[in-house]
Amino acid sequence: MEASILITVKNDKSNMIKLLNSLSNEVGKRAEVVIVDAYSNDGTYEILKNYEDKLDLKVDRIRGNRAVGRNRCIELASGENYIFLDSDTEVPLGWFENFKRYFDRPIVAGKILQKGNVKWSDLGRVPMLFEGKDVTYPSNNLKYSKAVIDEIGKFDERMHTAEDIDLNIRAVMKGYDIFYAEDVVVYHFPREDLMSLLKQSYTDGIGRKYINRKYKLKSKFNINNLKAHPIIEFLRLSAGMVGYLLGDFHD
C-alpha cells in the first residue's frame, strides 16, 4: 500500500467526527487510516465504527502517551509512507493528491492553518534549530517514509511531549532533510480557552527540557508572536518556562 494515515486520539469526539468526515470525502479508501485511541471515555472510540464503510480503517486502543499511540499506529500500518495527523485537524479537498506529489521525498511537512475564532489562532511555533534546520514541525500533516522510520527508529516513548521534535532531530542526524510543502494544507482547531493553551505550553516546556538535556538544544523566541499578541505570548512563554523548570517528564 502506498500510504497509511496515522491518527492518535483521546476524548476528542467532536473534532474526530470533523476529521473523519473530511477524510471520507477526500481520501475514501485510497489509503488506509489507522486510528489508535487512548481509552477515551467520551464516546470517541464508539463513533469510529460508523466510518468502516467509508474508509479503509484499522482501529486499536492502547494506554499511554502520544508516542506510545503513534508507535502502535506504525506497528499496524502497511503503507510505504506514514502521514501523521492530529485528531483536531481537518483535511480539505485536494490534500491527499497534493501530498502524493511528494511521496518520493523521505520526509515532508505540510502547512497547518489555524481554523477558529480565538484571537491567538495565528500564534506560530516556537522554533528550535538543529544543524541549522527547523526541527519543530509537529507530527500533524507530517509524512515520513517507512524506510526512514525503519532506519532511525520510532517515537521515544519516554517523552510526554516533544516526541515529534526528537524524531525530527534523529532524522536530521542521519542526514535527512525535512521538505516543507506549502501546498499540502490542513486546518487545525486551536485551544479555545486560555487555560487550555497555558496547560499545553506547560507540557511543551517539559518536552523542551528533555530535548535540551538530550541534545543541548535550546528554543528561540518567535518575534512575530510577541508583536502580534504580546500579553498572551508572554503568558504562554511563562507557562512553558514553569514546565521547563519544575515539570517532570512523566507528568
Higher model confidence: residue 232 or residue 148? 148
Pair 213, 247: CB distance under 8 Å: no
pLDDT at 117: 59
* b/e 175-199 (16+ beta carbons within 10 angstroms → b): ebebeebeebbbbbbbbeeeeebbe
pLDDT at 222 (0 to 100):
65
The whole-number average pLDDT for the span 50-74 is: 97
Would you give the end-to-end CA distance of the chain in angstroms? 37
pLDDT reading at 62 higher than 80: yes
pLDDT tens per residue across span 106-132: 999 999 998 865 565 666 677 789 999
Q: To the nearest 5 percent, what fractions of the chain are helix, strand and coil? A: 40, 20, 40
Crossing angle between the packed helical segments 163-173 and 194-215, to the nearest 10 degrees: 30
Confidence of residue 251 (pLDDT cuts 50, 70, 90): very low
pLDDT digits (tens, 9 = 90+) for 11-30: 999 999 999 999 999 999 99
Query: How many residues does this entry show for the chain?
Result: 251
- Which whole number is the average pLDDT over 238-249? 77
Enter the C-alpha cell of residue 67: 508516542
Fold of the domain spanning 3-193: Spore Coat Polysaccharide Biosynthesis Protein SpsA; Chain A (3.90.550)
Average pLDDT, the chain: 90
Highest average pLDDT, of 52-61, 193-202, 221-230, comes from 52-61
Residue 5 has pLDDT above 80, yes or no: yes
Mean pLDDT on 53-63: 97
pLDDT band at residue 192 using 50, 70 and 90 as cut-offs: low
**Residue 158, pLDDT score:** 87
Whether the per-residue pLDDT at 38 is higher than 50: the answer is: yes
pLDDT of 196 reads 76
Residue 32 has pLDDT above 80, yes or no: yes
String of DSSP letters for 122-163: T------EETTEE----SSSEEEEHHHHHHH-S--TT-SS-H
For 39-65, letters b (16+ CB in 10 Å) and e give ebeeebbeebeebeebbbbbbeeeeeb
